[in-house]
Amino acid sequence: MATQKPALAKGTRDFGPKEVQKRKYILNSIESVFKKFGFMPLETPAMENLATLEGKYGDEGDKLLFRILNSGDYLKDLKEFQNNTSIDTTNLPSSTGNVSDLDSKAASKFISEKGLRYDLTVPFARYVVMNRNDITFPFKRYQMQPVWRADRPQKGRYREFWQCDADVVGSDSLINEVELIQIYYEVFTTLGIDFKIRVNNRKILEGIAEYFNCNHRFSEFIIIIDKLDKIGYEGVFKELNDAGFINDSNRAILDSPELGLFKEGIQQIYPTFESQLKRLNSLFEDRNSEIGSHGVSELEKVLKLLDKSCKQFVELDIFLARGLSYYTGSILEIVATKGTLKSSIGGGGRYDNLTGIFGLPNVSGVGISFGLDRIYDVMEELNLFPNTVNRASSTQVLFCHFDEATQEYCLPALKVLRDAGIAAEVYPDVIRKKPIAKQLDYANALNIPYAAIAGETEMQQHVFNVKNLQTGEQTLIGTEELIRLINPFI
Amino acid sequence: MATQKPALAKGTRDFGPKEVQKRKYILNSIESVFKKFGFMPLETPAMENLATLEGKYGDEGDKLLFRILNSGDYLKDLKEFQNNTSIDTTNLPSSTGNVSDLDSKAASKFISEKGLRYDLTVPFARYVVMNRNDITFPFKRYQMQPVWRADRPQKGRYREFWQCDADVVGSDSLINEVELIQIYYEVFTTLGIDFKIRVNNRKILEGIAEYFNCNHRFSEFIIIIDKLDKIGYEGVFKELNDAGFINDSNRAILDSPELGLFKEGIQQIYPTFESQLKRLNSLFEDRNSEIGSHGVSELEKVLKLLDKSCKQFVELDIFLARGLSYYTGSILEIVATKGTLKSSIGGGGRYDNLTGIFGLPNVSGVGISFGLDRIYDVMEELNLFPNTVNRASSTQVLFCHFDEATQEYCLPALKVLRDAGIAAEVYPDVIRKKPIAKQLDYANALNIPYAAIAGETEMQQHVFNVKNLQTGEQTLIGTEELIRLINPFI
């Protein structure tokens, strides 16, 4: 076979030892909080039937699904179809039998029936419906797995990336919102990331739409509001104006400092959450907007039940919509507040009828998601990973030697260390030329803190020449002392 | 949208909370041993270029690759090819332009350029070659990730399953074999699985082939030997005889009790590893088989360096070939010795030139693999999972209540427990009818050990009525006492 120059598939990444350690540190931190809050793990397969995936993410999502070619003679069905002119051909591949007339989208129905997981929510809904009789509701599940999207790769956007979700299904209680906000608080506090938690409620957005008499064009209204990150407040106000939702005389209501919409470049005293809600309430009462008032009272309840230490990180952002039209109640978003990457590092909300499409109606759910890659980037930029995580190897001691005999002398000590729970290695090869230099190079490259060197003399004295590779300090000690040097608590 | 009855893709599985907890217990046990032995984590993408995967697993493997349909107008290249008759058409789809003349295998070159990871070894080799300049050799990496094969699904065989590999590349030392055997020993001892470790060496197999003058037909010889599990010793001897490798007069040499080949139905005193090696050595000396003698001396060295407690689990099986023609030295296999599932639960060996195909020759590697699904099945059958792992939820205490007020009363205590590191929950909904029965049902379904019930009285007295759900015992205690009840060491 000819030699190949290997490459990664476009938009995918390898994670070497250091990166895995750091990613696992984030994942473990999130997971242990999920568990402490009573969430249970779920894992679903990478491949789902296309019937499960298609139509769930909009036309754009359908385009971004990775489809898996059927195994074996996958063209068989397509050929059969093309040879059988009695079938209804609307919207299906041409039946001229000619390849040039085939349409990629239509043909794929015949040659692919599975796709790669696009998110964790749809597989979760499928799982809930398939296991409805065995699940105890409310069902609190977390799921941390990769997903795949055939997006155009660019900086910070990959075709394979991880999602970490926690959802509660089968409970209408706002306590769930409170718990999910506290999970965010606890995870980001643990990780040392500065953050704020933006909250809103779809009912408040609907109330605002009612206030401006545009509830009949609600989705249009949301689409404009959702452009905030791209076009800024002035842009949003202009588009709302152009679309006839607001005008010069009533925009001041939205624009008032009491509602807390932040205008770029203008220093503004941020109102309290309570004063924002109070102002909203009076607006909604003016217009008898029941839905708006309902949204305010939901947020009031969440706010009331939040722990004080957590509450100070929570802000009401009445323009927070998070695009996803399936949120029906609370909407949450986490933003990192330090570093150059100030974008969202997590988000979520309440959605009704998640499982309806799979035949289980009226199941309310609420969930949050953590953006692993963005959290990683923030922590990397701000140097937030602890030192213990910041190295590729877990090894504490490398045993170094000069020949077969001294190498063999290291083995029982190596075992004693490992039995004491200390990660340790012996350099596997016997090096004839500059043995110690070569072995210390290895230890230094892997950031191994100690080298235990065994020469003829050490072997005779039943000790090792232990070198601290950071300070250069050396000391002749036995195995027990070596253990205590590394872990004084054993 | 119409309601769909959702289903899993064929050959794939969901892992619910209990299964994930148990699978993670196994994975964590393996991982912590890998780390203790100085192995470093690597993760590669699920998708690889087909150029990386194809031709690495034989024709059969190529058939079992899951291929991913190119995104967008994936038929474009195929159409262009078919309209361009100037290209060499050997072995490529027909250029008549007619779908019926298309060949699935040939067409896939045009419509698919990525495939799903088939094992962890080839992506590892790709990683090593791509990062050769940054890697410190010897490179000890472990990798625990799912792989996908379009195999016909059957009991115990899935299209998505996990592999857990540890390999050392860039070291010829037999110390690596010793370490890998000790990793097996430590993992299976930790998991409580009864096992034995079968070892062999390709050089010994080659020596045996030389002994019978059939080294020029070595691969034929190995194919027969490798049928052992399917056709038994008598079957193998018959086929070796039919193929002219052995005859009635010399088969007794292989068959002698001193070599330790076990005959079904015949009680036999197992020879010691040492006596087997001694016998082999004399056979190889008889025929001046240098390669055979070399194999014996390699195994002697491994045996000599193995820790005593581990050594007793190691057996020499001179017919162990593990099919894979790429093993060039040591061959290892782990077998569970209790329960109905007595098949292999892990294996590995030494291979030279793993990275040669990607342009990096002469890199020797040696590695082992753990079969997660089989280990899981053995542990499940023999009830080896510890009780703490054997439940879906990590929650220790469920706070139960009667109304909004008592629910709210639970929240500060809930926080104190969690801050002490105790997983706890409050039932999110307020239940009007038989509230406690319903909440205890939830706790029991999730095997939550304690319920902390808050009624009007408890609230006034600043206590909870704490019920041990196993014994039924109840006690009125405050939050601090509750913490000590659950974790006396705090």
B153 contacts in A (CB within 8 Å)?
none
Q: Point out the residue among A55, A430, A445 whose CB comes nearest to the CB of B136.
A: A445
Q: What percent of chain B has pLDDT over 70?
A: 92
The distance of B245 to chain A (nearest Cα, Å) reads: 31
CA angle A349, A355, A361 (to 5 degrees): 110
B141 contacts in A (CB within 8 Å)?
17
In angstroms, what CA-CA distances link A175 with A286, A303, A305, B292, B410?
A: 29, 10, 8, 71, 12
Adjacency order of strands within the sheet including B424-426: B424-426, B397-401, B450-454, B464-468, B474-477
Phi and psi angles of residue A192, each rounded to the nearest 5 degrees, phi first:
80, 20
Instruction: Report H helices in A3-151.
Output: 17-36, 50-53, 58-64, 76-83, 104-111, 121-130
Say what the pLDDT of residue A228 is: 83
Q: What is the pLDDT along chain A (490 residues), one digit of tens a residue?
A: 456 689 999 999 999 999 999 999 999 999 999 999 999 999 999 999 999 999 988 888 999 999 999 987 777 777 776 666 555 555 555 555 566 666 777 777 788 999 999 999 999 999 999 999 999 999 999 999 999 999 998 888 899 999 999 999 999 999 999 999 999 999 999 999 999 999 999 999 999 999 988 888 998 998 898 888 888 888 888 999 999 998 888 887 877 777 877 554 444 556 788 889 999 999 999 989 999 999 999 999 999 999 999 999 999 999 898 876 678 999 999 999 998 877 789 999 999 878 888 989 888 999 999 999 999 999 999 999 998 898 999 999 999 999 999 999 999 999 999 999 999 999 999 999 999 999 999 999 999 999 999 999 999 999 999 999 999 999 999 999 999 999 888 7
Interface test with A, best of B75, B112, B159, B179 (most A CBs within 10 A): B75
Say what the pLDDT of residue B265 is: 45
Within a 13 Å sphere around the CA of A470, how many CA atoms are in the beta-carbon half?
A: 5
Q: Point out the residue among B12, B112, B423 whose CB comes nearest to the CB of A69.
A: B112
Q: Point out the residue among A67, A171, A407 whose CB comes nearest to the CB of B68.
A: A67
Phi and psi angles of residue A330, each rounded to the nearest 5 degrees, phi first:
-60, 145
What is this structure's pTM? 0.93
Query: Using the beta-carbon criterion (under 8 Å), do B43 and A6 form an inter-chain contact?
Result: no
Higher pLDDT, B101 or A205: A205
Dig out the tokens for A376 from the structure. Answer: 């990683």
- Could you tell me if A207 and A295 are in contact, meaning their C-beta atoms sit under 8 angstroms apart? yes
- Could you tell me if B350 and B374 are in contact, meaning their C-beta atoms sit under 8 angstroms apart? no
Say what the pLDDT of residue A265 is: 45
Higher pLDDT, A275 or B174: B174
Is pLDDT of B373 > 90? yes
Distance CA B472, CA B268 (A): 55
Q: What is the DSSP string of A306-335?
A: S-HHHHTTEEE-TT---S-TTEEEEEEEEE
Query: Using the beta-carbon criterion (under 8 Å), do B79 and A102 form an inter-chain contact?
Result: yes
In A271-418 the beta strands, taken as DSSP E runs, fall at 314-316, 327-336, 344-351, 365-371, 397-401
Distance CA A116, CA A148 (A): 6
Distance CA A193, CA A209 (A): 35
Query: Using the beta-carbon criterion (under 8 Å), do B4 and A37 form an inter-chain contact?
Result: no
Contacts of B212 (CB under 8 A, 6+ apart): B245, B246, B250
The torsion defined by the Cα of B167, B168, B174 and B178, in degrees rounded to 10, comes to -50
Say what the pLDDT of residue B251 is: 80
SS3 (DSSP) at A84:
coil
Model confidence at B4, pLDDT cuts 50, 70, 90, reads low
State mean pLDDT over B10-20. Answer: 97
- Domains, chain B, with CATH or none: 17-48+118-381 (3.30.930.10), 51-110 (no CATH), 392-486 (3.40.50.800)
Say what the pLDDT of residue A74 is: 74
Query: Using the beta-carbon criterion (under 8 Å), do B418 and A46 form an inter-chain contact?
Result: no
Adjacency order of strands within the sheet including A424-426: A424-426, A397-401, A450-454, A464-468, A474-477
Say what the pLDDT of residue A267 is: 46
A3 contacts in B (CB within 8 Å)?
356-359
Dig out the tokens for B315 from the structure. Answer: 């057996």
Query: Using the beta-carbon criterion (under 8 Å), do B100 and A111 form an inter-chain contact?
Result: no
The distance of B292 to chain A (nearest Cα, Å) reads: 23
Query: Using the beta-carbon criterion (under 8 Å), do B69 and A67 form an inter-chain contact?
Result: yes
Across the strands, what pairs with A335?
A196, A344
- Could you tell me if B259 and B284 are in contact, meaning their C-beta atoms sit under 8 angstroms apart? no
Say what the pLDDT of residue A81 is: 67
Say what the pLDDT of residue B248 is: 82
The distance of A217 to chain B (nearest Cα, Å) reads: 22
Adjacency order of strands within the sheet including B67-69: A47-49, A112-116, A67-69, B67-69, B112-116, B47-49
The distance of A330 to chain B (nearest Cα, Å) reads: 16
Say what the pLDDT of residue B8 is: 97
For B455-488, the pLDDT digits (tens) are: 999 999 999 999 999 999 999 999 999 999 998 8
Chain B residue with the nearest C-alpha to that of A182? B415
Q: Point out the residue among B7, B83, B411 whose CB comes nearest to the CB of A305.
A: B411
Would you tell me how many other CB atoms lie within 10 Å of the CB of residue A210?
Answer: 20
The C-alpha R_g of chain B, in whole angstroms, comes to: 30
Say what the pLDDT of residue A139 is: 97
The distance of B393 to chain A (nearest Cα, Å) reads: 6
Chain A residue with the nearest C-alpha to that of B310? A415
Say what the pLDDT of residue B267 is: 46
Say what the pLDDT of residue B155 is: 83
Query: Using the beta-carbon criterion (under 8 Å), do B69 and A69 form an inter-chain contact?
Result: yes
The distance of B106 to chain A (nearest Cα, Å) reads: 11
Cis peptide before B93 (omega within 30 of 0): no
For B33-76, the pLDDT digits (tens) are: 999 999 999 999 999 999 999 998 888 899 999 999 998 777 77
A173 contacts in B (CB within 8 Å)?
428-430
For B388-422, the pLDDT digits (tens) are: 898 999 999 999 999 999 999 999 999 999 999 99
Interface test with B, best of A12, A21, A36 (most B CBs within 10 A): A36
Distance CA B338, CA B334 (A): 12
SS3 (DSSP) at A147:
strand
The distance of A111 to chain B (nearest Cα, Å) reads: 9
Number of Cβ pairs < 8 A linking chain A and chain B = 320
Distance CA A374, CA A319 (A): 23
Say what the pLDDT of residue A84 is: 62
Chain B residue with the nearest C-alpha to that of A441? B136
Nearest by Cα to B123 from A51, A16, A38: A16
B168 contacts in A (CB within 8 Å)?
428
- Could you tell me if A112 and A50 are in contact, meaning their C-beta atoms sit under 8 angstroms apart? yes
Chain A residue with the nearest C-alpha to that of B448? A38
B428 contacts in A (CB within 8 Å)?
138, 168, 171, 173, 175-176, 179
For B288-328, the pLDDT digits (tens) are: 999 999 999 999 999 999 999 999 999 999 989 887 667 89
Under the phi-then-psi rule, with left for phi > 0, alpha for psi from -120 to 50, and beta for the rest, what region is A121? alpha
User: Look-up: residue for tokens 């992506």?
Assistant: B123
- What ipTM is given for this predicted complex? 0.92
Dig out the tokens for A366 from the structure. Answer: 């609420």
* E strand or H helix that includes residue A406: helix A404-419
SS3 (DSSP) at A190:
helix
Query: Using the beta-carbon criterion (under 8 Å), do B69 and A73 form an inter-chain contact?
Result: no
Dig out the tokens for A146 from the structure. Answer: 């990769």
Distance CA B3, CA A52 (A): 11
Chain A residue with the nearest C-alpha to that of B113? A9
The distance of B379 to chain A (nearest Cα, Å) reads: 20
Interface test with B, best of A13, A14, A360, A447 (most B CBs within 10 A): A14
A43 contacts in B (CB within 8 Å)?
14-15, 19-20, 23
For B155-173, the pLDDT digits (tens) are: 888 999 999 999 999 999 9
Say what the pLDDT of residue B268 is: 54
